[in-house]
Amino acid sequence: MPISFMLNKGKVPVKIFTADVDSASLTQLGNLSQLPFIHSHIAAMPDVHAGIGATVGSVIPTRGAIIPAAVGVDIGCGMNAVRLSLKASDLPDNLYSIRSAIEQRVPTGFDQHDKPSTQGATLKNMEKHLDAITDKHPALIKMVKNFHRTWGKQLGTLGSGNHFIELCIDESDDVWVMLHSGSRGIGNAIGRYFIEKAKKDVGRELGQLPDKDLAYFTEGTQHFDDYVQAVGWAQDYAMTNRREMMRLVLDALQTCQHLPTFTTTREAINCHHNYVQQETHFGAEVYVTRKGAISAQQGQLGIIPGSMGAKSYIVRGLGNEQSFCSCSHGAGRRMSRTEAKRRFNTRDLEAQTAGIECRKDKGVVDEIPGAYKDIDVVMQNQADLVEVVHTLKQVVCVKG
């Protein structure tokens, strides 16, 4: 489906790839379009919903400025997926042992490893570059308990909220491992720290912004350069976190007595959906912030997950410039976590996740499928942005 409609209330238009957009999101998109450094237009993906300052599911090209709150605090959050040589028929009838093996190997929620699971040159190189950031911004160290030990111990951990690890079956009965996580506590601290710095840097102009969470850094200033350095580090950390977590999950599966020996295929994807990077669009070098969106360059593979109990998709980008070569990062929330907990209970969760080996307690009711948009409709709305390569259905889901 092409652009559903356009919002023309600001300095640039907003091109929206769905008609299913709430008033709060329209307000946020309108606020973004009033900023003087937006290039060409703003694109809103089919999973669009209200965020903090900037809308989740938005693609924001900027010239000479970056908005830290648009990147958010889960910097580099994204997906990793790999196809295994296993078939659905290789899986045991009772999948609890598989979920348990994964949960024992990968810390979830607030848990972390007793010691860093990633060793050697990788850890030392990350530490060296992080020290260069904290030397200039020592206040960051106070924002994470046991800062120097915690970030290393959280590599290869899941976290909570909408993060997950899943075992899925595709249309050919091939087994996939798919996971979703980001930059953990250190990324959250970097995000919060620089969001507040941006508010202070704009000073008296903060009150003139349509939303204080749209405070920005201007290119050429110290904090702009420092943020680019810090956000780049956090994005690399998130990528490494997913890579390490995938290694641990595959190790856990190899130890399961009920599974035959397996290998991984060459089809593997590791992609961000909360990040900023330099790209060229409509004749200009710009900073593209994807807040709840993934890159969908021509031929590029990506991952679009549904909710617990819904289908997910491996896709190939079509390179649509109107979306800045982007697509949705998932189904997108239809309601807040508070509203989901008010509206649904554990019985609803059990019904909506029938046949899936996963937690079904009140601690994850806010992640119930009913709190999300219909992933099939979301996919229909972005037929001009991506083509489906594989359709996945989860059979095991691990949540924090």
Binding residues for Mn(2+): 74, 163, 180, 273
**DSSP per position, 29-96:** HHHHHTSTTB-S-EEEEEEEE--SSSPEEEEEEESSEE-HHHH-SSTT-EEEEEEEEEEGGGS-S--H
CA angle at residue 242 from 128 to 371, to 5 degrees?
130
What is the spatial distance between Cα 248 and Cα 253, in angstroms, rounded to a whole number? 9
Task: Extract the tokens encoding 190.
Answer: 């970097």
What is the spatial distance between Cα 217 and Cα 215, in angstroms, rounded to a whole number? 7
Instruction: Kindly state the helix (H) or strand (E) to which residue 365 belongs, with its residue range.
Output: none
Task: Extract the tokens encoding 171.
Answer: 């249309």
Q: Cα 4 to the chain's mean position, in Å?
A: 24
Task: Extract the tokens encoding 139.
Answer: 């206040």
Q: Cα torsion for 243, 288, 372, 183, to the nearest 10°?
A: 30
Annotation: binding site for GMP: 162-166, 273-274, 305-308, 312, 329-332, 399
Long-range CB contacts (within 8 A, 24+) of 36-39: 36/11, 37/62, 37/63, 37/64, 37/65, 37/216, 38/10, 38/11, 38/12, 38/62, 38/63, 39/12, 39/63, 39/281, 39/282, 39/284, 39/286
**Whats the size of the chain, residue-wise?**
400
- CA R_g for the chain: 21
Which residue among 39, 49, 329, 390 is the active-site one? 329
CA angle at residue 383 from 30 to 177, to 5 degrees?
100
Q: Cα 390 to the chain's mean position, in Å?
A: 20
- Count the Cβ atoms, other than its own, within 10 Å of residue 205: 10
Print burial letters for 223-234: b (CB count within 10 Å at least 16), e (below 16): bbebbbebbbbb
Residue type, 282: F
Annotation: binding site: 74, 162-166, 180, 273-274, 305-308, 312, 329-332, 399
Is residue 148 part of the annotated active site? The answer reads no
Q: In what order do the strands lie in the sheet with 274-281?
A: 5-7, 14-16, 42-49, 56-62, 284-291, 274-281
**Active-site annotation, residues:** 329
